[in-house]
A and B are shown apart, each in its own frame.
Chain A
């Protein structure tokens, strides 16, 4: 009987954990990528991996959605929208746990056959959702984390702009550029 990789076991405290839906290779890679790999990533700046990045308001309407132009935009809209189910659930679980030190990163929300959807929620309940191609197995958790952190910083800058009207959709070139830097480049 093949053993479940230990990484999964540690995560799978609950009866079933979504991480087991990841391809075996991907999960294995997470635990055995050498430090050299991460140094490369650090040098190259944030990995350009996302196929869709979205910012969702507290009331769950979209502030900002950008997806790779090569694919059906609507598909990503639906994907981001459905991921809010998991986000809601995670937030309410967090509220129940009454954790002081709030973890903003929500981890993998749900995987589909072709994509992985990650989530992040700010203290004011603004959500960031990032869709990543599942074929990219080398991507690690802390890379996703750092991408979200950058996104959050950039978002904070947008909010600090005195000309920005709260509640409006985000129309900022700086934010656009930040998002572009994280998206898969289309040749």
Chain B
């Protein structure tokens, strides 16, 4: 966009820098000069002094200085600030003119050169006549200068040169053209900067000196002008604090001026300029609050200063610019490190600027609606001789006229007309949209999503006014969902209305239909008459006709649109539109509900589709189809009503597919599920409802899943929370809110009609072939086929159980590791109604503990459902928990031949092994036989015959056996000597003949064997007779390898008489046994 009247001038917005001109440099042909110039202007970073340089020829004509005024008495200023003034001091009148001259101290033709240099300086001085501009001379030298004071010729000649040029020593510089050029240049420019500051200081003093001549009545304008100039010079001097102070004074002075319709624009323009400067400096000084406060003050003071009513759009334009400029300043400051917050960011200013731009547009629309016959005035009253105004903010046709009375009302009229006609050509919408999009960018940054949406709506509306309907729709469509999701229906309706207009004007069929659907729906807050109109239009569109234009549309745009719609009709093409409803709120609601969460495969699956229309008139749909995750069912769930296109509104209350507004329509669907789907979920993936038909145009509303649109989840939540009592409705009607969507159902197998019984005698005994009798009886009315049995350990238990449990159908042989834990699919044939079959299963459990066993019977049966023959697979299962216990406990002990308990046995001395078998089974056990398998270290004394063959043990009874054994001497064995195994063969007493006998092997305990040195064995008769001798024989056996001395003494009891040696000593040789007799006689008395 080219700068407009309202844009702030560049010279105001830039940062003022001291202006220094460089003369005598030939930057085109002289390489040295070029290098010097480059060093001045390249890389001007922030650390370099703020100077703007310009190369000018030595004889450049500077702006002429007006003769000094000696008295202000008769002077009447014509305006506040000349339009050229700022530019003049920024770019035309230098603070310092530098004359570059190539001259070395040892120049042979010194005299000539010196006078040439003096002439050059003189020419510059001539052209700066009357100005305080400083002049400086820089000698470009080839040689590096000697340190000061050492070069006598140099100091002499320098003094002479200063004299000739009338320069002070401070204004003469030497620039050796050596390697360190940049360093010299930086030193030079610092020196220039000092000179420039002095210049601006004197300028400030000069302006201030005028003050005393001024009086308050005639020179009010000058007060402002001078104050502004002082501030501006201070800025040039980089004294921003004083600049700010002076601008503030100037600002107050501007508002003290007498304002009138004729000069209000000038006052506002200047106030705007000064305000801009103040705000800019405040931000620069990092006092943003001051800037904001100043701006607020400025706006409050100027808001009401509208000026001429006929040109009130100018005020709006000016206000808009004020806000925009402040927004820009604020944004600039943020980029330099200021932090803004949600409630105070540049966005608000851009937004306000946009509002004023909108106001400007409105005002312009009402003020500039001249008829086309009115021509732009000629000559152009807005033209000036120079092409620019003399003073900021004045009218071109009465420049410099300060009188408040209009000297020439006719001229004024023409001028106003010219401005108004010009305003008509302004692209207002473009300005507004730019400002709004600036604001959007800001609000996005400062976490204001709703503000952003609001501004985007405004942008969309502005695009609509600007007739850029595509962009308008894009924006509106983008923000609609925000308002929809938060439930602000009034706002949504307003946006939709604009969107509908856009889509109408562009003849965008799909958009037009979508927006119509929503505007007819429950989210729309439109009045019924509007809804009726939209519904009628929608039906027209569906019948392949053009809709009526939307109200309040531009007449020309409507004409174009009508043509477009006509083209659409003739244009062949796809006339079926599928619209997904999950993102908006259409006027038809849909809910699907299966009657039950699960259905048996032999009964038809039933569900209802509920429909409800919210539009004002009854409406007829052409088709409803339901889609499932298994597409085979889709064909069963279609309702189609053949109706001609023009019947959409006829016979409104007849037919299934005609919806009466506000009434809930229930449509029942039924189908038989496939047997393959048993155990699966049937889900409604979508519901499609078609409006219109293929001959005209057709809209297919598509609900994902079991219905529901953008608003329904919130509504469902509300309905669930609500405890309102709903009024009673007639029987076949339901409350819409009370319908809960149920979009899926499970298909489960048919209920089996057989009985499965298990007969067994728990608990099971370890390792036995436990018998489980399964009885299956059919209660079906027809024959069942393919009956199969799966039985065994229920899967999913402890993995170890699987290793230790084995199942077989054959009880006659013991099963081993190779048998499975679960027998699957054992075919048992067919069963007639009422028939019963029995199957025996044998389970062998290797460990104790409880196990779950599963018996699962499946079969096929032919069923007729909904006149369709289907083969159903039914199954029934039974589980049973069986405990496994040890059948008996076996106790083993060692005793001496005298049945004395032995801790240990003696080598070669016989002892007894006693086994004790205690039945723990609740059922009678038959011990078929037992067997003792001796370890090689043990020998038997007599026969090892089983003593418990075929003994039946009831619960708690025990069977004992006794074996006489001897253990030969083995030396000292750690942990004792292995004894052997005790093997018991047994079965349940109740078990059948053919059931194998179970052998239970018991490992006998180890026994400690000890060697003894001497073994005494007494041989006593079993009885004696009174007064007869009783021979007593003692065997003494030496078990050692050595001869032992044995001393034997016999101490008879008093009941016996004793004969024989009472005490003997004899050597007992190794491995010899001795018999020793003694006789005792005795009598017993009474």
B289 touches A166 (CB 8 A): no
Q: Which of A17, A24, A77, A165 contacts B296 (CB 8 A)?
A: A24
Q: Which of A8, A61, A112, A165 contacts B724 (CB 8 A)?
A: A165
A21 touches B296 (CB 8 A): yes
Chain A residues closer than 8 Å to B296, beta-carbon distance: 20-24
**Given known contacts A4-B290, A77-B491, A82-B454, is B341 in contact with A16 (CB within 8 Å)?**
yes
Q: Which of B292, B338, B490, B722 contacts A21 (CB 8 A)?
A: B292
Give A17 to B288 CA distance when docked, in angstroms: 11
B340 touches A1 (CB 8 A): no
Does B896 sit within 8 A of A, measured CB to CB? no
A85 touches B450 (CB 8 A): yes
Residue of B nearest to A15 (CB): B339
Residue of A nearest to B722 (CB): A165
Within 8 A of B (CB), among A100-114: 109-110, 112-113
B342 touches A59 (CB 8 A): no
Does A30 sit within 8 A of B, measured CB to CB? no
* Closest beta carbon of chain B to A26's beta carbon, Å: 10
Residue of B nearest to A167 (CB): B718
Does A2 sit within 8 A of B, measured CB to CB? yes
A74 touches B494 (CB 8 A): yes
B344 touches A24 (CB 8 A): no
Does A89 sit within 8 A of B, measured CB to CB? yes
Residue of B nearest to A108 (CB): B343
Most chain B CB within 10 A, of A1, A23, A110, is at A1
A4 touches B244 (CB 8 A): no
Chain A residues closer than 8 Å to B339, beta-carbon distance: 15-16
Within 8 A of A (CB), among B705-736: 714, 717-718, 721-724
Within 8 A of A (CB), among B478-533: 483, 486-488, 490-491, 494
B490 touches A74 (CB 8 A): yes
**Given known contacts A21-B296, A74-B491, A167-B721, is B289 in contact with A82 (CB within 8 Å)?**
no
Give A20 to B293 CA distance when docked, in angstroms: 7
Give A62 to B483 CA distance when docked, in angstroms: 11
Give A100 to B486 CA distance when docked, in angstroms: 29
Does A153 sit within 8 A of B, measured CB to CB? no
Does B827 sit within 8 A of A, measured CB to CB? no
Most chain A CB within 10 A, of B289, B294, B447, B483, is at B289
Q: Which of A1, A86, A165, A166 contacts B342 (CB 8 A)?
A: A86
B343 touches A86 (CB 8 A): yes
Q: How big is chain A's contact interface, by range?
A: 35 or more
**Given known contacts A1-B245, A61-B486, A77-B488, is B289 in contact with A14 (CB within 8 Å)?**
no
A20 touches B292 (CB 8 A): yes
Give A109 to B486 CA distance when docked, in angstroms: 20
Chain B residues closer than 8 Å to A85, beta-carbon distance: 342, 447-451
Residue of B nearest to A92 (CB): B447
- Encode A1-17 as 1/0 by CB contact (under 8 A) with B: 11010001000101111
Residue of A nearest to B288 (CB): A16
Total B residues in contact with A, Cβ cutoff 8 Å: 44
Chain B residues closer than 8 Å to A59, beta-carbon distance: 486-487, 714
**Given known contacts A16-B341, A59-B486, A110-B343, is B454 in contact with A81 (CB within 8 Å)?**
yes
Chain A residues closer than 8 Å to B491, beta-carbon distance: 74, 77-78, 81
Chain A residues closer than 8 Å to B483, beta-carbon distance: 81
B451 touches A82 (CB 8 A): yes
- Encode A78-91 as 1/0 by CB contact (under 8 A) with B: 10011011100100
**Given known contacts A1-B244, A23-B296, A24-B293, is B486 in contact with A82 (CB within 8 Å)?**
no
Q: Which of B289, B454, B488, B490 contacts A20 (CB 8 A)?
A: B289
Most chain A CB within 10 A, of B244, B342, B348, is at B342
* Closest beta carbon of chain A to B319's beta carbon, Å: 9
A16 touches B293 (CB 8 A): no
Q: Which of A1, A81, A86 contacts B488 (CB 8 A)?
A: A81
Chain B residues closer than 8 Å to A113, beta-carbon distance: 299, 352, 355
**Given known contacts A89-B447, A167-B718, is B297 in contact with A77 (CB within 8 Å)?**
no
* Closest beta carbon of chain A to B569's beta carbon, Å: 35
Give A78 to B300 CA distance when docked, in angstroms: 25
- Encode B239-251 as 1/0 by CB contact (under 8 A) with A: 0000011001000
Residue of B nearest to A14 (CB): B341
Give A53 to B332 CA distance when docked, in angstroms: 37
Give A20 to B289 CA distance when docked, in angstroms: 7
Most chain A CB within 10 A, of B293, B300, B714, B723, is at B293
Most chain B CB within 10 A, of A12, A15, A22, is at A15
- Encode A151-165 as 1/0 by CB contact (under 8 A) with B: 000000000000001
- Encode B977-1010 as 1/0 by CB contact (under 8 A) with A: 0000000000000000000000000000000000
Chain B residues closer than 8 Å to A74, beta-carbon distance: 490-491, 494
Within 8 A of A (CB), among B342-395: 342-344, 348, 352, 355
Does A31 sit within 8 A of B, measured CB to CB? no
A165 touches B248 (CB 8 A): no
Chain B residues closer than 8 Å to A18, beta-carbon distance: 341, 343-344
A16 touches B344 (CB 8 A): yes
Does A172 sit within 8 A of B, measured CB to CB? no
Does A177 sit within 8 A of B, measured CB to CB? no
**Given known contacts A15-B339, A16-B340, is B248 in contact with A1 (CB within 8 Å)?**
yes
Within 8 A of A (CB), among B254-303: 288-290, 292-294, 296-297, 299-300
A4 touches B293 (CB 8 A): yes
Give A166 to B490 CA distance when docked, in angstroms: 21
Does A60 sit within 8 A of B, measured CB to CB? yes
Give A2 to B289 CA distance when docked, in angstroms: 11
Residue of A nearest to B295 (CB): A21
A2 touches B293 (CB 8 A): yes
* Closest beta carbon of chain B to A166's beta carbon, Å: 6
Chain B residues closer than 8 Å to A12, beta-carbon distance: 289
B721 touches A1 (CB 8 A): no
Chain A residues closer than 8 Å to B722, beta-carbon distance: 165-168
Chain A residues closer than 8 Å to B343, beta-carbon distance: 17-18, 21, 86, 109-110
* Closest beta carbon of chain A to B140's beta carbon, Å: 47
Give A78 to B524 CA distance when docked, in angstroms: 16
Give A156 to B687 CA distance when docked, in angstroms: 43
Chain B residues closer than 8 Å to A62, beta-carbon distance: 487-488, 490
* Closest beta carbon of chain B to A8's beta carbon, Å: 7
Q: Which of B289, B449, B486 contacts A8 (CB 8 A)?
A: B289
* Closest beta carbon of chain A to B616's beta carbon, Å: 22
Most chain B CB within 10 A, of A14, A65, A74, A82, is at A82
Residue of B nearest to A114 (CB): B355
Residue of B nearest to A162 (CB): B723
Give A113 to B721 CA distance when docked, in angstroms: 41
Chain B residues closer than 8 Å to A84, beta-carbon distance: 450
A20 touches B718 (CB 8 A): no
Chain B residues closer than 8 Å to A23, beta-carbon distance: 296, 300
- Encode B615-632 as 1/0 by CB contact (under 8 A) with A: 000000000000000000
* Closest beta carbon of chain B to A63's beta carbon, Å: 10
Residue of B nearest to A74 (CB): B494
- Encode A101-138 as 1/0 by CB contact (under 8 A) with B: 00000000110110000000000000000000000000
B248 touches A81 (CB 8 A): no
* Closest beta carbon of chain B to A132's beta carbon, Å: 16
Residue of A nearest to B490 (CB): A77
- Kindly list 13 other residue pairs between chains A and B, CB separation below 8 angstroms, not including A8-B289, A18-B341, A167-B722: A2-B290, A16-B289, A16-B340, A20-B289, A23-B300, A59-B486, A62-B487, A77-B488, A78-B457, A81-B450, A85-B447, A113-B299, A167-B721
Write 9 A-B pairs (CB below 8 A) sorted by A numbering: A62-B488, A73-B490, A78-B457, A81-B488, A82-B451, A84-B450, A85-B450, A166-B721, A168-B722
Q: Name the 10 nearest CB pairs between A and B, nearest first.
A: A61-B487, A18-B343, A85-B448, A16-B344, A167-B718, A82-B451, A165-B724, A82-B450, A85-B450, A110-B343
Which residues of chain B have a CB within 8 Å of any CB of chain A? 244-245, 248, 288-290, 292-294, 296-297, 299-300, 338-344, 348, 352, 355, 447-451, 454, 457, 483, 486-488, 490-491, 494, 714, 717-718, 721-724
